[in-house]
Amino acid sequence: MINHKNLLYALEVSKQGSVNKAAEKLYIGQPNLSKMIIGLEEELGVALFRRTPKGMIPTADGEVIFRHAEEIYRQTGFIEEYCKNISKKALRMSAAVPWADYISEAFTNFLGRYSGDRLTEFSYIEADSESIINKVIYNECHLGIVRYNKKYDKNFRKYFEDRSLVSETLCESGCVAIFGENSQLAERRDITADDMRCYFEVRQNDQFVPDKNSAQLHNEADETSSRVIYVSSGAAQAELVSRNSRAYMITPPLSDRTLAKYGLIQKEVRGLCREDVDIFIRSENYSLTKTDNAFLDELMISKRKYKQEVLL
């Protein structure tokens, strides 16, 4: 394999006609450059230069090689510039979010704006709160939305601030119980927390709270059941509840569209005081693009619609 870096250096020597002048332009030492040229000639098995009192003069073989090398690097520069321009023109947006129907609806409407042939790179990832935060911190996603129990707001806000994350409240909502249509509880008009204690509560496996360990969280939990099933996603949570008449989940209210999709019923629970909050986060060092703002515009529209139809 040809050492392309050394070939580039040799090409500069041929242009300058001098190792010293080429070394100054390349910001490397003259002895090191001379060694690179000799090493390249040994690697190719061809003498590239004639060393004369007037300087370094390319041999006939050297002229052929340098002519082709010049073309290679010219094309390489063209490719790099072309890709850079494409990158500037490409539309990019990356978001890590919880499972929430108003957020997924916003993303769907956002995609409707970009149905043309323009290059797009959109990333929409549903994940748990800790994963979402880490994806934003490590620039795997530029935008994040974190959902958590409002009673832990100070914990999360401090965690965001300590990691140079900007945070803004998107939505706050009280929680309801959700059952499958075939559940006995779905038929009741009035439900209390005690009514659900012999049922399975299906939860997303999202137990991260800054500065709280699992034992503390267990002691502070708003328990409605001693029987708990953990699942990896909101969709799996809804699917399991819809298929099991002895299961339920506690979550902010869902839209009629989502309830119908999974065959679910939602009801308020007397004595359940849990309130969840959705927080938008981004790095302090990240400036929102026009594409980001287009998604956030759709998010605000979808949130208002959600509040009007579900929360009010």
pLDDT in tens, 53-106: 888 899 999 888 888 888 877 777 666 665 555 555 567 889 999 999 999 999
Write down the pLDDT at residue 209: 92
Local confidence band at 145 (pLDDT 50, 70, 90 cut-offs): very high
- Look at residue 241 in the predicted model and tell me its pLDDT: 95
Q: Where are the domains of the chain?
A: 4-88, 91-171+280-312, 176-273
Q: Per CATH, is 4-88 categorized as 3.90.280.10?
A: no
| CATH level 3 topology of 176-273 | D-Maltodextrin-Binding Protein; domain 2 (3.40.190)
Structure tokens at 312: 């009010």
Residue with tokens 């204690």: 197
Outline where 90-118 has alpha helix (H): 101-111
Written in H, E and C, the secondary structure of 137-160 is HCCCCCEEEEEEEHHHHHHHHHHH
- Same topology for domains 91-171+280-312 and 176-273, yes or no? yes
CA angle 229, 103, 240 (to 5 degrees): 25
List the CATH code of the domain at 91-171+280-312.
3.40.190.10
pLDDT tens column, 43-68: 888 899 998 888 889 999 988 888 88
| Model confidence at 211: pLDDT above 70 | yes
> Does 119 have pLDDT greater than 90?
no
Q: Are 78 and 34 in contact (CB under 8 A)?
A: no
* Residues whose CB is less than 8 angstroms from the CB of residue 119 and which lie 6 or more positions away in sequence, other chains included: 86, 89, 90, 91
Residue 214 has pLDDT above 80, yes or no: no
Looking at residues 156-170, what average pLDDT do you find?
A: 95
Dihedral sign computed on CA atoms, order 130, 133, 137, 141: positive
- Looking at residue 296, what is its pLDDT? 94
Burial of residue 13, with CB atoms counted within 10 A of its CB: 0-12 exposed, 13-18 middle, 19 or more buried:
buried
pLDDT in tens, 18-34: 888 888 888 888 888 88
SS3 93: strand
